[in-house]
Structure 1
Amino acid sequence: MIDTPTFWTLTALLGIGTFLVRFSFLGFLGGRQLPDWFVLHLKYVGVGVLPAMVTPLVLWPAATGGETDPARIIAALATFFVAFRLSVAGALVAGMGTLYLMQSLF
């Protein structure tokens, strides 16, 4: 367990670090027009980051002890296909519904 002064020092330093990272974009670049090539690349940040966050949760979920679960793979595929054809809200509903259904069947 971490002692109280170390905890609060670490919390303050992490808060300052988080503020500086966000301020670097908003404070320094907030009032400027960004170059077109930079804005184009920013459009793909979510597409690159989201799969990197979701893939480990689908393939090696902590809920199953890191074992691959067919229910989660099927739900991820259903989510992908519904998102591809319909909308984000539809994908959320389809993914959750498929996951609950597959977990009850398996």
Structure 2
Amino acid sequence: MNYTPADLWFIILALGLGTFLIRFSFLGILGDRQLPPWLLRHLRYTAVGILPAMVTPLILWPEATGGQLDPVRIIAAALALGVGLWTKNAIWAIVAGMATLWGLGFIVP
């Protein structure tokens, strides 16, 4: 696709305005108000719902392998999950997963 400079600037400005309005809707309008307890309870689980949705495709269909299953990534993810459940510490889970991924990446071709 070929865009003219005017088209590109319009796209950039429209995306910038959209991003500003999304953030302003929470920070500017609701920033100084007390949110209801039911909404705060639901917002607490936002990261828990989004993080698996971001990580799962990287484990099951990684671009590095052309979308094929990679046993090294699956083992590293399983170990990270196990360490996270055992220690209740996200940092240790990340360290264990990355160490496993790198370590097995050198061993398994």
TM-score, normalisation: structure 1? 0.94
Runs ≥4 residues deviating over 3 A: none
The amino acid across from 2:72 in the alignment is A
The amino acid across from 2:54 in the alignment is M
- Say what the alpha-carbon RMSD is for the aligned residues: 1.1
Q: Which residue of 1 aligns with 2:98?
A: 96
Q: Which residue of 1 aligns with 2:54?
A: 53
Q: Which residue of 2 aligns with 1:6?
A: 7
Alpha-carbon distance in structure 2 between the residues aligned to 1:62 and 1:3: 32
1:69 CA displacement: 0.3
Q: What is the total number of aligned residue pairs between the two structures?
A: 106
Mind listing any 5+ residue stretches in structure 1 that lack a counterpart?
Answer: none
Mind listing any 5+ residue stretches in structure 2 that lack a counterpart?
Answer: none
The amino acid across from 1:69 in the alignment is D
Question: Quick check: which one's helix share is greater?
Answer: 1
TM-score, normalisation: structure 2? 0.91
1:2 CA displacement: 3.4
